[in-house]
Amino acid sequence: MAADPDLPIRIVLFQPTHPGNIGAAARAMKTMGLHDLVVVNPACEIDDVARARSSGARDVLLDARIVPSLTEAVAGCGLVVGASARRRSLSWPELDPRECAEQAVESSRTKPVAIVFGAERAGLTNAEMDQCNALVYIPSNPDYSSLNLAAAVQIIAYEIRRASNVDEKPGEKADAPPASAEGMEYFYGHLERALLESGFLKPDNPRVLMRRLRRIYNRARLDERELNMLRGTLTALASASADARAATDEVMNTPIYLDYAASTPVAPEVAAAMFDCLTGDAGYGNPHSTMHAFGRDAAMAVSRARAQVASLINAAPAEIVWTSGATESDNLAIIGAARFRSGVGKHVVTSSIEHPAVLEACRYLEKDGFDVSYVECDANGLVDPDDIAAALREDTTLVSVMHVNNEIGVIQDIAGIGRLCRERDVLFHVDAAQSAGRLPLDVVAQNVDLMSLSAQKLYGPKGVGALYLNRRRVGRVEPLFHGGGQERGVRPGTVPTHQAVGMGLAFEIARERREDDAERLAMLRDRLWSGIHAMSGVLLNGHSQHRVCHILSVSVTGVEGESLHYALDELAVSAGSACATATTEPSAVLRALGRDDQLARSSVRFSFGRSTTEREIDFAIESFCSAVEHLRRLAPKSEVALA
């Protein structure tokens, strides 16, 4: 069912600010059979990001006209409709999307029609609305504070397709009244419960999906008859729900994976996107061979992924450099930036509880003639910005402090440290491998100059990461190795398209569901802590409040560390950093908190993810408490007394 291909209805985008929205609007138009796109004075380039988002609608994008004024964009049109995400008091009536589409289709039979959409956040001003002669009200997306441009275009294009469909019989649904708002709300609640109980929605927080389902059903404008049919379908799910509940009563499969801070499983959507790159025509071209279509397609996929990564941290796509992971990003940021600025000074400041990738990079610089100051944390694992300020010198060129500690989950005040570094004109590097997708990240507001990111910590593939480089303050760093000029010469080597695509999609998904995931994971973390801390001698490592949602680290008195980890064979947990498991030394992070060697060795790090369930947490509580009690019964009485 497509719109009349000769329908003279024009979509006008007024001063759009993001190329991805232009591409997505073109895709929505093409899907619904519209082709006339006009862009007025865009605040961005129609670049590779726009072309990547257009996905199958390149002809619409290529044929789009760019004009300097709204007057020129709507010239020759009879009906000119301005889209708004808020109610307005204007001299002409306000239409809903369906009414707008019906009037547009009817008016287009005599004269061309234009539907005008304002910039993503600003919308259309009243002065711009004065050039229109009708208003369509499209309620704002609940995830955003104003009109979502691409979604709004899709809604209107869909309604135009419905209104222009010649196969639809007039009055076909006249015998059934529209579904009431109360009836729809009851249906949504019933739908969510049924999907959860049937096992279709796993215990992941379903809010993001339910918001999407609401939008889909709202656009469909169900009548009472259709709504009753759907209610009957939900009732039929009852037996499936019973089967799902019976399945949860079966024996728990072990070991239970509680090591998400080390690595996360690849999200199914990410794996599918990577598979398409590996097996489809769009993936096997070299993204740097843009003389032919295969290379250009791969380049567009990489560009889109770069934009997806940048969006999570409020960076520009051009500021993202692909690497093999956070370890390489840390080394490139610290060694590369320090060497490049060595003419200004050769002093670096970091903390004593950083990831091994940071600490080893700093030790390498010390061998290369640099002076490194290691700032200590307090007993809760917090690094005081005042202590960082006190360590700064005239020749300090770089400060490196991780956002979330990978062993104990403590959150550092990177905004405060970033502010003082900016005041002293010192570059600030942040390892955000554990905070990306779990905490808000804004490299502009937090004054971050370099940021290390990892895909495998956020349901993406292993072997790929990224480094954010502030274009204005950093510009470039000295590369660690040499070759071609890829990644602006900072990181030579062919970018693996499928890896970049996987990381980009993983970061986009994480951005969409960050708040929901964080709320659920914090609940699971607190549930576990409530279940084990009542046992004597179980100590929380790190601050009780300033900690990330997905990590819980504890130390246990009265047991021997190696025995404890062997006893927890039904739980896939760790003692600390996955990058330091090759050493038998107790954790330097835990020793920095004041833990003695025995407590540092008898520590357990639990970390949780999207697939972790309350039932698994309860199983972990039972397993942990049982193991500790058993080991304490076997231990010498003097050691147990210490507990």
Same domain, residue pair 327 and 430? yes
Which of 606, 618, 609 is closest to 551 using CA atoms? 606
Is residue 404 included in any domain, yes or no?
Answer: yes
On whether both 560 and 543 belong to a single domain, the answer is yes
How many structural domains does the chain have?
4
- Residue spans of the chain under pLDDT 50: 1-4, 141-147, 166-174, 236-250, 582, 638, 640
* Residue 596, Cβ density class (10 Å: 0-12 exposed, 13-18 middle, ≥19 buried): exposed
In a domain, 260, yes or no: no
- The question of whether 579 is a catalytic residue gets the answer yes
Same-domain status, 526 and 466 = no
pTM: 0.63
Would you give the distance in Å from CA 88 to the centre of its chain?
A: 34
Same domain membership, residue 218 and residue 137 = no
Q: Is residue 230 part of a domain?
A: yes
Does residue 486 share a domain with residue 449? yes
- pLDDT of 299: 87
Question: The CATH number of the domain where 208 resides is what?
Answer: 1.10.8.590
**DSSP code string of 521-587:** HHHHHHHHHHHHTTSTTEEE-S-SSSB-TTEEEEEETTS-HHHHHHHTTTEE-BSS-GGGTT--SPP
pLDDT of residue 204: 55
Backbone phi, then psi, for 261, in 5-degree steps? -70, -25
Q: Confirm if 191 and 183 have CB atoms less than 8 A apart.
A: no
What pLDDT is stored for residue 55 in this prediction?
Answer: 66
SS (H, E, C) 312-329: HHCCCHHHEEEECCHHHH
The whole-number pLDDT of residue 28 equals 80
pLDDT for 141 equals: 46
Residue that finishes a domain, picked among 213, 248, 283 = 248
Which residue among 132, 377, 579, 625 is the active-site one?
579
pLDDT tens for residues 216-258?
Answer: 777 777 776 666 656 655 554 444 444 444 444 445 677 899 9
Rounded Cα–Cα distance for residues 579 and 327 (Å): 10
Which of 164, 199, 228 corresponds to the end of one domain? 164
Per the domain annotation, does 273 fall within a domain? yes
Going by DSSP bridges, is the β-strand pair 571-572/256-257 parallel, antiparallel, or unpaired?
parallel
Shared domain check, 424 and 412: yes
Domain boundary among 137, 164, 191: 164
Q: Are residues 520 and 560 in the same domain?
A: yes
CATH assignment of the domain containing 306 = 3.40.640.10
Are residues 447 and 373 located together in one domain of the fold?
yes
Tell me: do 579 and 493 sit in the same domain.
no
Q: Is residue 174 part of a domain?
A: no
Structural domain span for residue 613: 513-642
Say yes or no: 487 and 518 in one domain.
no
Pick from 515, 529, 458: which is nearest to 205 by CA? 515
Model confidence pLDDT, tens digit, residues 8-40: 999 999 988 888 888 888 888 887 788 899 999
How many Å apart are CA 445 and CA 73, to the nearest integer?
37
Res 32: pLDDT: 75
CA distance 436 to 415: 15
29 inside domain: yes
Those residues whose C-beta lies under 8 Å from the C-beta of residue 91, and which sit 6 or more positions away, are none
- CATH code at position 561: 3.90.1150.10
What's the burial of 140, exposed, middle or buried (CB within 10 Å: 0-12/13-18/19+)? middle
239 and 137 share one domain: no
Residue 617 lies in a domain: yes
Is the residue at 259 inside a domain? no
CA–CA gap between residue 620 and residue 247 (Å, rounded): 19
Same domain for 319 and 459? Answer: yes
- The secondary structure of residue 588, as a DSSP letter, is H
What is the C-alpha end-to-end distance of the chain, expressed in Å? 72
For residue 485, give the DSSP letter: -
Whether the bond into 19 is cis, omega within 30 of 0 = no
